[in-house]
């Protein structure tokens, strides 16, 4: 695979909690999920630390364990990362650092993938419509709270309170069987990843996007997935992020595009397949 990637933090000077890395045979993209502002996570390391280590371990497993499926490699990476925390971190805390995951690798004449959470894998076929994998774990209570966030004025105390309620509800439900599954400290979360294989012969390429980059289609409606893939294939993932940031900057009060955050960490990867 020939891979190109771009990423931007939520705000300049802020550490991004996204992570992306690739080899010619595999790629990973992770989007970190930390605790609401002002709350404890039970971990002394932080979300960015967790995401980078999980991503590195996952990429290593994808490349050196052909006998393990992509989902099993994710489970192994979760366990290995959990072991790095040490006794001073409370991994049972509901706000322990976590991440959504896209994992892809070439396996002979096919592409194998595992996607967990709301990061997206978009398959770019040589013919026909793109196929989107990810963000398919319904959580109705969370959607109701998310709408309440968007109804409040950006920057207001009411918006901040609504965001905290939403974040706490999601974190209380995730990885419990009553809400979304996400990579945190439990290897069995990998069992809930979307998995599959696709013949390489039918693919022009593929894209992996954190939800901050996926806003191009899902939230901002700047184009559909065919347009997004054509943009990344032609001008690179950086151009897609530039257009997302320009749209966000044109709507600082979140009036045209109601959203919980004016900006988010955003990372996009585009890989051309042979």
d(CA 259, CA 150): 5
pLDDT, greater one: 183 or 143: 183
pLDDT at residue 139 in the model: 72
pTM: 0.90
Per-residue pLDDT at 42 exceeds 90? no
97-108: per-residue pLDDT in tens? 999 999 999 999
Tell me the angle at which helices 225-235 and 211-218 cross, rounded to the nearest 10 degrees. Answer: 120
Would you say the C-alpha torsion 150, 155, 158, 162 has a positive or negative sign?
positive
How far apart (Å, rounded) are the C-alpha atoms in residues 33 and 23?
25
Q: Are 77 and 52 in contact (CB under 8 A)?
A: no
Is 112 a residue whose pLDDT tops 90? yes
64 pLDDT band (50/70/90 cuts)?
very high
The pLDDT of residue 38 is above 70 = no
Across 89-98, 240-249, 264-273, least confident range: 89-98
Distance of CA 98 to the CA centre of its chain: 11
DSSP tag of 230: H
Residues for the chain: how many in total? Answer: 274
Mean of the per-residue pLDDT values of the chain: 92
The domains located in the chain, with CATH, are: 2-137+179-272 (3.60.40.10)
pLDDT in tens, 172-212: 788 888 788 999 999 999 999 999 999 999 999 999 999 99
């Amino acid at each position: 695979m020939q891979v190109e990637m771009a990423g931007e933090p939520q705000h300049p000077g802020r550490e991004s909690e996204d992570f992306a890395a690739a080899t010619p045979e595999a790629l990973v993209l992770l989007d970190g999920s930390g605790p609401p502002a002002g709350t404890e996570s039970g971990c002394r390391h932080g979300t960015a630390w967790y995401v980078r280590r999980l991503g590195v371990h996952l990429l290593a497993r994808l490349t050196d364990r052909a006998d393990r499926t992509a989902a099993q490699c994710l489970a192994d990476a979760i366990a290995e990362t959990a072991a790095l925390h040490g006794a001073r971190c409370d991994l049972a805390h509901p706000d322990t650092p976590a991440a959504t995951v896209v994992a892809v690798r070439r396996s002979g004449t096919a592409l194998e993938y595992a996607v967990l959470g709301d990061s997206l894998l978009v398959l770019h076929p040589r013919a026909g419509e793109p196929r989107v994998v990810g963000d398919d774990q319904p959580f109705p209570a969370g959607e109701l709270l998310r709408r309440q966030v968007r109804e409040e004025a950006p920057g207001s105390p009411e918006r901040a309170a609504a965001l905290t309620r939403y974040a706490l509800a999601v974190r209380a439900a995730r990885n419990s069987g009553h809400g979304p599954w996400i990579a945190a400290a439990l290897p069995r979360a990998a069992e809930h990843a979307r998995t599959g294989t696709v013949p390489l012969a039918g693919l022009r390429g593929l894209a992996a996007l954190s939800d901050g980059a996926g806003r191009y289609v899902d939230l901002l409606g700047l184009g559909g997935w065919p347009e997004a893939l054509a943009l990344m294939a032609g001008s690179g993932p950086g151009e897609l992020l530039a257009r997302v940031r320009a749209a966000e900057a044109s709507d600082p009060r979140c009036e045209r595009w109601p959203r919980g955050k004016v900006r988010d960490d955003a990372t996009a990867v585009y890989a051309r397949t042979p």
